[in-house]
Amino acid sequence: MFKKALAIFIFFVCLTWSSGAQAGFGISPPYLKTDKPIFPGANYEQTITLLRSSAEDELTAKITVNAPEIESWIAIDKGYSFDLPKGQLRVPMMVRVNVPDSAEIGDYKGYINVKIVPKVQSGGSGVSIALGARIDIDLRITDKAFLDFNVRRVSIPDFEQLGTPWKWPIFSWFFYRTKVEMKIENTGNIKVAPSKVHIDVYDLTEKELLESYDDNSIEKVEPFKTETVVASFPTKLKPGQYWGKIKIYKDKDIIYKDKIAFTVMTHGELPSGTKIGVWPWVLLSLYVSLVLLFVYILIRIKIWVYIYLVLYFISFPIRFIWKVVARLIKKLKLKFWKWMHQKASKYQEPPKDEDK
């Protein structure tokens, strides 16, 4: 009875001593696993959040992996020992699984231990209670492909007309575009993207279809990741407000559709400006280079002489007609001035006889 009472007393003393630093600890989620099996050579990432009920002191998290077959596959972005800062109740850590190409097909299990201790432990008779949690590992390696994704968010950003010279057709086709931004969650084990994104642009009354385009070249998202990808469409829209009716396809099935309003502004009205990057300048340099190359080729092969001869013979009828017309005009001028001279001579007074 005395030993039991002593044990309870010691427990409460230790708990009271350590309650300020380690009041409570947990993790979310308490597992490391994928929704679908993954390929050999695949990379998988999962965020696990370390939670504590009090953050009055700075603590240290110590990580150990107990999974003999796959321990070398697992890495922690913060390392196997890192601090939980004072005042921060939630500390995320990224667990990365890099499956080697030589991994055998099958199921792999294990666990990760997370131990929380005070950052600085005093020597001597001080007593501290280390808190901990366990993350279960459950991975399945397969050679079968699973293709699936979810559309989490879709938007059409406002944009503005381009300035000179980028508004010229040779540039605007590439850089004056309506863009649809999509947040795609890849739940499969291979790279994936929507097979097609379709947009119909209407005026505000939705009575007139102004533009209709497809984009089949969407950037793919890595397995088990969520990223924002963009579909872009050439446009000739003038400043104003429009409706964009969007359809997102997976193969031939429509998995998402929505109607979104957006605005086209005149050049200089967009608060953030138009960020076209370096590619317009690259394209301009390419055009100039092509023109210079064409002129250089013409000079090198002395084609100017042949062009002159071709133009000379082609223009022969025009030159002949011009000469005939010029001669006719010259004759008409002579006749006109001769006639004017005759008319004027009639009104001239006859010369006086000086002898009279």
Between these two residues, 273 and 215, which has the higher pLDDT value?
215
Q: What is the pLDDT of residues 22-70, one digit of tens each?
A: 458 889 999 998 878 888 888 888 999 999 888 888 899 999 999 989 9
Domain assignment present for 72: yes
Residue 126's pLDDT is what?
46
Question: Which residue, of 229, 250, 276, is where some domain finishes?
Answer: 276
Q: 85-89, 242-246, 289-293: lowest mean pLDDT where?
A: 289-293
Q: How many CA atoms, within 13 angstroms, populate the side-chain half-sphere of residue 154?
A: 20
pLDDT at 75 over 90: yes
SS3 21: coil
The band of 212, judged by pLDDT with boundaries at 50, 70 and 90, is very high
pLDDT at 189 over 50: yes
Q: Which two tokens stand for residue 67?
A: 């999974």
User: Is residue 47 domain-shared with residue 154, that is, in the same domain?
Assistant: no
User: Is residue 199 domain-shared with residue 247, that is, in the same domain?
Assistant: yes
User: Is residue 217 domain-shared with residue 263, that is, in the same domain?
Assistant: yes
Q: What is the pLDDT of residues 245-284, one digit of tens each?
A: 999 999 889 999 999 999 999 887 877 766 776 777 787 7
Question: Which residue, of 276, 309, 335, is where some domain finishes?
Answer: 276
Domain assignment present for 68: yes
pLDDT at 7 over 50: no
The band of 1, judged by pLDDT with boundaries at 50, 70 and 90, is very low
The band of 234, judged by pLDDT with boundaries at 50, 70 and 90, is very high
User: Is residue 135 domain-shared with residue 164, that is, in the same domain?
Assistant: no
Domain assignment present for 30: yes
Between these two residues, 104 and 23, which has the higher pLDDT value?
104
Q: What domain range is 241 assigned to?
A: 149-276
Domain assignment present for 325: no
Over residues 2-18, mean pLDDT:
41
Residue 65's pLDDT is what?
94
Over residues 227-235, mean pLDDT:
94
Domain assignment present for 354: no
Residues written for the chain: 356
Question: Which residue, of 110, 141, 172, is where some domain finishes?
Answer: 141
Residue 349's pLDDT is what?
60
Element (H, E) at 273: none
- Return the sign of the alpha-carbon dihedral for residues 18, 19, 20, 23: positive
User: Is residue 223 domain-shared with residue 110, that is, in the same domain?
Assistant: no
The band of 128, judged by pLDDT with boundaries at 50, 70 and 90, is low
Domain assignment present for 291: no
User: Is residue 113 domain-shared with residue 209, that is, in the same domain?
Assistant: no
Q: What is the pLDDT of residues 285-325, one digit of tens each?
A: 888 888 888 877 777 766 667 777 777 778 878 888 888 88
User: Is residue 207 domain-shared with residue 245, that is, in the same domain?
Assistant: yes
User: Is residue 174 domain-shared with residue 235, that is, in the same domain?
Assistant: yes
User: Is residue 130 domain-shared with residue 158, that is, in the same domain?
Assistant: no
Distance in angstroms (rounded) separating the CA atoms of residues 78 and 90:
14
Q: What is the CATH number of the domain that holds 250?
A: 2.60.40.10
Neighbouring residues of 308: CB distance < 8 A, sequence distance ≥ 6: none
Distance in angstroms (rounded) separating the CA atoms of residues 142 and 147:
13
The band of 347, judged by pLDDT with boundaries at 50, 70 and 90, is low
User: Is residue 104 domain-shared with residue 227, that is, in the same domain?
Assistant: no
Q: Which two tokens stand for residue 102?
A: 């030589």
Distance in angstroms (rounded) separating the CA atoms of residues 84 and 2:
39
Domain assignment present for 75: yes
User: Is residue 30 domain-shared with residue 107, that is, in the same domain?
Assistant: yes
Q: Domain tally for the chain?
A: 2
Q: 13-17, 66-70, 92-96, 146-150: lowest mean pLDDT where?
A: 13-17
Place of tokens 């429509």: 254
Domain assignment present for 109: yes
User: Is residue 137 domain-shared with residue 156, that is, in the same domain?
Assistant: no
Proportion of the chain above pLDDT 70, given as a percent: 85
pLDDT at 229 over 50: yes
Residue 57's pLDDT is what?
85
Distance in angstroms (rounded) separating the CA atoms of residues 141 and 36:
9
pLDDT at 9 over 90: no
Q: What is the reported pTM?
A: 0.59
Over residues 86-115, mean pLDDT:
92
